Structure 1
Amino acid sequence: MRFVLASQSPARLGVLRAAGVDPSVVVSGVDEDAVAATLTDPSPAGLVIALAVAKAEAVLETVAGTHSDAVVVGCDSMLSIDGEMLGKPGTAEVARKRWALQAGRTGDLLTGHAVVRLEGGEPTRRATGSHTTRIRFADPSPEEIEAYIGTGEPLEVAGAFTLDGFGGWFIDGIDGDPSSVIGISLPLTRRLLAEVGVSVTDLWSR
């Protein structure tokens, strides 16, 4: 059985490999904004789950062509602050505005997961869920924020920060699952795998 990660995130891949799973990577190429636009007033958890489902479903045909027996995992993360859901900033200007908003405050990092079980090349079982972790942001100086933006790291990550990279210097603490903040919650993924009849220990590289 193959574990397939429907994500191009090196952070998610790193978490899985450190936890004993060496997945195949198939990038979904899903237009997140287009998917979100189809939803009617979703809850924060509903939004990240819907995006995760879209990513997992988008790669099923490709995966089935090479692995008849597999589990496909899609993920999506967003930061909720002041009731607004924030994804990847994309530009330095947006990242600067995000940090002006969140510095010295708290926010909720939501990660949605979707797991699809393929048997005989056909999807047979599905499971979804989300995890929320409270983030306590430090209050970096303007010079520190500019230096951080200059690394390019916050432009391509949800909430314009990381826990496991340069951004870790500016996170005072978290309440929840650290792996979820990095991009894929190991406890949640283990539970969802069990729902589709797969034990995570059977996926470990030995």
Structure 2
Amino acid sequence: MPVPRLVLASQSPARLATLRSAGLDPEVVVSGVDESVLDHVTDPAALSLGLARLKAEVVVDGLEASAGPVLVVGCDSVLELDGEIHGKPASAEEATARWERMRGRSGTLHTGHCLVEVRDGVRREAARSARTVVRFAEVSDEEVAAYVATGEPLRVAGAFTLDGLGGAFVTGVDGDPHTVVGIGLPLLRELVTELGHRWTDLWTDRHGVG
């Protein structure tokens, strides 16, 4: 079976960096989807998976026909806190209020993964959502204000990062830490295998392993 062309349906630098560090070098095609079309979904796991599937399918629809197989990866994350769903904060005020609620507590990050294969005009899909518990430090008002002022919390689901400035404010993770960055490598490997491909075949020779 020929090695598939790999496409990441996300503009997230963290997701791209995670895949590259794992030996993969995907093309990036931003979906540009309107996420509000799924505002009616109230289950966080279902919402994260629905958004991931929407992104992957939109990108697949826009791809030109390829001679060989194509794998398109879509991902999305939402934070569950006190039974409520939280995505990216809409304002600095919302990010500040979010951190005032999160500090010293734990939240659950749901990260949906959808892998769509197109081969010989036929689509196949493998998709699942990963659940990771994130424990937050008891940060001060001054730390919250300084963090929000950087703008980082406004760009990410849950208003925090693990691999950026927010990493110092996360005291622990129960689950795959890759999912907190935005894409779970063990889960993605399972989906790749489910569609009949070998993960190691996706490694690129620029890493000296392909």
TM-score band by shorter chain is: over 0.9
Q: Residue 197 of structure 2 corresponds to which residue in structure 1?
A: 198
Secondary structure in structure 2 of the residue aligned to 1:126: strand
1:7 lines up with 2:10 in the alignment = yes
Name stretches of at least 5 consecutive residues in structure 1 with no aligned partner: none
Name stretches of at least 5 consecutive residues in structure 2 with no aligned partner: 206-210
Residue 79 of structure 1 aligns with an amino acid whose one-letter code is L
Query: Please, what TM-score do these two structures have when normalized by structure 1?
Result: 0.94
Q: Deviations over 1:139-191 (max 9, x none)?
A: 11111111111111110101000000000010011111011000000011000
Q: Residue 33 of structure 1 corresponds to which residue in structure 2?
A: 36
Contact 1:52/1:112 (<8 A) preserved: yes
What percentage of aligned pairs have identical amino acids? 53
Q: Deviations over 1:12-51 (max 9, x none)?
A: 00000000000000101111122333x4x4x321111111
Secondary structure in structure 2 of the residue aligned to 1:143: helix
1:164 lines up with 2:163 in the alignment = yes
Residue 180 of structure 2 aligns with an amino acid whose one-letter code is V
Secondary structure in structure 2 of the residue aligned to 1:59: helix
Query: Please, what TM-score do these two structures have when normalized by structure 2?
Result: 0.92
Calculate the aligned-residue CA RMSD, in Å: 1.3
Q: Residue 115 of structure 2 corresponds to which residue in structure 1?
A: 115
Contact 1:104/1:139 (<8 A) preserved: yes
Please report how far the alpha carbon of residue 123 of structure 1 lies from its aligned counterpart in structure 2 after TM superposition: 3.9
The 2-side partners of 1:125 and 1:90 are apart by 35
Q: Residue 81 of structure 1 corresponds to which residue in structure 2?
A: 81
The 1-side partners of 2:107 and 2:67 are apart by 39
Secondary structure in structure 2 of the residue aligned to 1:80: strand
* Greater than 3 Å deviation, 4+ residue runs: 64-68
Q: Residue 100 of structure 1 corresponds to which residue in structure 2?
A: 100
The 2-side partners of 1:35 and 1:68 are apart by 32
